Amino acid sequence: MFNKRIKELRKSLCMSQLEFSKQLHVTKQCVINWENHNVLPSTNLLIRISDTFSVSIDYLLGVENIRTIDVTGLSDIQILHIQNMVSDLKNAKR
């Protein structure tokens, strides 16, 4: 699951494997190996990857399927706006 998640997340940011590798200070081959399900990154790299994509490590590893949004520092009104936007988007899919 990890290999699919990072590939999807990387592509959602229109980021190449090389760009992603440079951001994490690893080789492109590391990213290729992760995406081909050959190896998993170290714990430290998992943390950096989750920070890069603003997702939990549990989401990256497929333990959970819920993506969260960090609203730290936003006002209650701003959070309410975000909640309303998410609700509107969910209703539009139906």
**Strands (E) located in 48-91:** none
**What is the sign of the dihedral through the CA atoms of 55, 69, 8 and 65?**
positive
Give the model confidence (pLDDT) of 2-36 as tens digits: 999 999 999 999 999 999 999 999 999 999 999 99
Residue 80 structure tokens: 């309410």
Is residue 37 included in any domain, yes or no? yes
Residue 67 lies inside a defined structural domain of this protein: no
Q: Is residue 69 part of a domain?
A: no
Residue at 43 is within a domain: yes
Is 44 a member of any domain?
yes
pLDDT above 90 coverage of the chain, percent: 76
Tell me if 66 is assigned to some domain: no
The span from the CA of 61 to the CA of 46, in Å, is: 9
Amino acid (one-letter) located at 48: R
Identify the pLDDT of residue 71: 87
As a dihedral over the C-alpha atoms of residue 18, residue 63, residue 39, residue 20, rounded to 10 degrees, the angle is 10
Q: Is residue 55 part of a domain?
A: yes
pTM for this structure?
Answer: 0.75
Task: Of 17, 13, 12, give the one whose Cα is nearest residue 27.
Answer: 17
Q: How many domains does the chain have?
A: 1
Residue 8 belongs to what domain range?
A: 2-61
Both tokens assigned to 39: 């190896």
Q: With bands split at pLDDT 50, 70 and 90, how would you rate the model's confidence at 94?
A: low
Which CATH number do you get for residue 43? Answer: 1.10.260.40
